[in-house]
Amino acid sequence: MAAAIVWFRNDLRLDDNPALEAALDAGHDIIPVYVHDPDGEGNAAAGAASNAWLARSLVALDASLRERGNWLRLFVGHAGPTLAGVAAAAGATSVFWNRRYEPDVEARDAAIKRALREDGLEVESFNGSTLFEPWALKTAAGGPYRVFTPFYRSAMARWSPSACGDAPPRIPPWESGPAGVLIDQLRLVPATGWDRSFWAHWTPGEAGARAALDSFVEGALHAYAQDRDRPDRTGTSRLSPHLHFGEVAVWRVVDAVESERGRVGDAHIDAYRRQLVWRDFATQLLHHFPHTAERDLDPRFERFEWTRARRHALERWRRGRTGVPIIDAGMRELWETGWMHGRVRMIVASYLCKHMRVHWRTGAAWFRETLLDADLANNTMGWQWVAGTGADAAPYFRVFNPVTQGVRFDPRGDYVARWLPELAALPVPLRHAPWRDPTQLVRVAPGYPSTPLVDLAEGRDAALLAYRRMNDARGIHESGS
């Protein structure tokens, strides 16, 4: 009997796990390993909130393995030498893993694969996380897509998600080799206890992911197309952290959703499938345009006059004290739960990049630190989309008005009242613009800012002026060269 290391990464599940399946199919005993290697993951390393999720997900994975007669070995250090060391000490002949596509991780993994093969090990990697790997869909010219709609069409033309496969009841263990360290030694949990309030809202791990999927399919899926933009309702799947950590395979999500097509109707199923394809699009973009994690995809914006974020102002945005209720509600939802509704992500990002004219990188960094689902590809695409600097982006001159957005997507102000209870006593028409009646605002919520951090009309005008100057500068530059 031979042993294989199955290196778990962002695929923290036993069902539908191609690397695990391949190792079992080859008849190996299994050494499940997780290596905490933030340095090796570069700009894709998890932020504080995601690390807190990761700790719980690893514990859940270990428990599932133990139910099947095995256990998870944890290590801290550089992944390559760690895996080589474990393989040598345990006498393993193979190492299997599922691929990640963040550029820094891809580079590290390619080097690890080469080195382990040079050591004489069999090394295989698989697709465990996307419907289409970043190189699977190409434009007619053979290049990557920069625009979503043709990418989506191409995905639909080749739509054939993988079949699902449950893990076997027993995963044969391999006893020898290092036992690894205890979960606390990974130091993943914030020392301040900031994450404590998250867990009333989330259950990390494969069972939690399954429960979230079941509840979505039974509930919100039935109105997804109309409710997905409504932060005042549970209108979306809330699967994003589970998908980011691979606690459920995306093709199992597709399977569960598609199986309801007859009952739920095409509009909802198709709208949901489209969002899952956006996820693949983001992965594809980052893979082919790796610089976009730091720099604008649209190079014109290298000349844009972003303002230097003042600490005080930035802190008011981060902590939900801008005086614009929909923004503050979103930022407080994020701080309390580690998640923010997608529509509200767009509104808070727009306010930062346009009204405050702060570079999207600053906002993306805060999201990376505070989102449980922080994902380099989705986060980068989301911020660049809103900022107007990215692929297929909302043009910069389209500036979201947070009051109009609030009234449209949170018509009774319930979302605002939930996250800003101090404003709940205001009548509905004032909940999205409390500064319109300062007397009432002071009486009801004396501690809430009496005016917006940046006046909406002035901020918009200044943003548009900066945009025009960027374009004019380009004109001068181009005619002068």
Ligand X SMILES: Cc1cc2nc3c(=O)[nH]c(=O)nc-3n(C[C@H](O)[C@H](O)[C@H](O)COP(=O)(O)OP(=O)(O)OC[C@H]3O[C@@H](n4cnc5c(N)ncnc54)[C@H](O)[C@@H]3O)c2cc1C
Q: Is 50 annotated as a binding residue?
A: no
**Residue 243, interface with ligand X (CB under 6 A)?**
yes
Which 251-280 positions form the footprint of ligand X (CB under 6 A)?
A: 275-276, 278-279
Order of strands across the sheet that contains 122-126: 73-76, 29-36, 3-8, 94-98, 122-126
What is the full DSSP assignment across 295-329?
S-SSGGGGG--PPPPPHHHHHHHHTT-SS-HHHHH
- Residue 456 near residue 448 (C-beta atoms within 8 A): no
Query: Minimal CB distance to ligand X: which residue?
Result: 382
Q: Count other Cβ atoms within 10 Å, centred on residue 266.
A: 11
Stretch binding ligand X (CB under 6 A), from 91-99, 145-153, 231-239, 413-421: 231-239
CA 89 to CA 193: how far, in whole Å?
37
Does 373 sit near ligand X (CB under 6 A)? yes
Q: Which is nearer to ligand X, 18 or 390 (CB)?
A: 390
Q: Is 248 in the site for ligand X (CB under 6 A)?
A: no
Interacting residue with ligand X among 58, 65, 346, 463 (CB under 6 A): 346
Report the 10 Å Cβ neighbour count for 52.
24
Using the contact rule CB under 6 A, the part of the chain among 34-42, 199-207, 259-267, 342-350 near ligand X is 342-350
Minimum Å gap between C-beta 119 and ligand X is 36
Among positions 28, 36, 56, 244, the unique one binding ligand X when judged by CB under 6 A: 244
Residue 193 CB neighbour total at 10 angstroms? 9
Residue 481 annotated as lining a ligand binding site: no
Sign of CA dihedral 179, 181, 183, 188: negative
Q: Given candidates 50, 51, 378, 389, which one binds ligand X under the rule CB under 6 A?
A: 378
410 marked as binding residue = no
Any idea what DSSP says for residue 146? S
Question: Closer CB to ligand X, residue 124 or residue 255?
Answer: 255
Residue 88 CB, shortest distance to ligand X, in Å, is 37
* 239 is annotated as contributing to ligand binding: yes
Is 272 known as a binding-site position?
A: yes
Q: Is 396 marked within a binding site?
A: no
Residue (274 or 460) nearer to ligand X, CB: 274
| 240 is a contact residue toward ligand X (CB under 6 A) | yes
Mutual angle of helices 360-370 and 376-387, in 10-degree steps: 150
Our CB check for ligand X shows the closer of 318 and 345 to be 345
Asked if residue 374 binds ligand X (CB under 6 A), the reply is: yes
**Out of 56, 146, 238, 318, which residue is the one contacting ligand X (CB under 6 A)?**
238
Give exposure, 298-335, as e/b (b: 16+ Cβ within 10 Å).
beebeebebeebeeebbebbbebbbbbbbbbbbbbbbb
- Asked if residue 25 belongs to a known ligand binding site, the reply is no
Give 373's contacts (C-beta < 8 A, 6+ positions apart): 50, 240, 241, 243, 244, 339
Give the SS3 label for residue 438: helix
Residue 270 marked ligand-binding? no
The sign one gets for the Cα dihedral 50, 56, 60, 63 is positive
For ligand X, the closer of residues 47 and 173 by Cβ is 47
Q: Which of 188, 331, 371, 393 is in the footprint of ligand X by CB under 6 A?
A: 371
Residue 101 CB, nearest approach to ligand X (Å) = 13
Question: What letters, b where the CB count within 10 A reaches 16 and e where it falls short, cover 132-150?
Answer: bebeebeeeeeebbbebee
Closest CA to 8 of 99, 78, 91: 99
Nearest residue (CB) to ligand X, 64 versus 236: 236
Residue 292 interacting with ligand X (CB under 6 A): no
Q: Tell me the site size for ligand X, rule CB under 6 A.
A: 28
Report d(CA 313, CA 285) in Å as an integer.
32
CB of 238 to ligand X, least distance (A): 4
Q: Is 174 helix (H, G, I), strand (E, B) or coil?
A: coil
Residue of 42, 172, 178, 342 that binds ligand X (CB under 6 A): 342
Consecutive H or E run containing 95? strand 94-98
Which of 345, 354, 355, 431 is the binder for ligand X (CB under 6 A)?
A: 345
With respect to ligand X, which residue has the nearer C-beta, 323 or 382?
A: 382
Question: Does 215 contact ligand X by CB under 6 A?
Answer: no
Token pair for 147: 């625009």
282 binds ligand X (CB under 6 A): yes
What letter would DSSP give residue 58? H
Whether residue 224 is annotated as binding a ligand: the answer is yes
- Find the binder of ligand X among 289, 383, 396, 448 (CB under 6 A): 383
Interface of this chain with ligand X, residues 127 to 156, rule: CB under 6 A: none
Has 238 been labeled as part of a binding site?
yes
SS3 118: helix
User: In the bound complex, what is the minimum distance in angstroms from residue 306's beta carbon to ligand X?
Assistant: 16
Residues that bind ligand X (CB under 6 A): 228, 236-240, 243-244, 275-276, 278-279, 282, 342, 345-346, 349, 367, 371, 373-375, 378-379, 381-383, 386
From the annotation, which residues make up the binding site for FAD? 224, 236-240, 272, 373-375
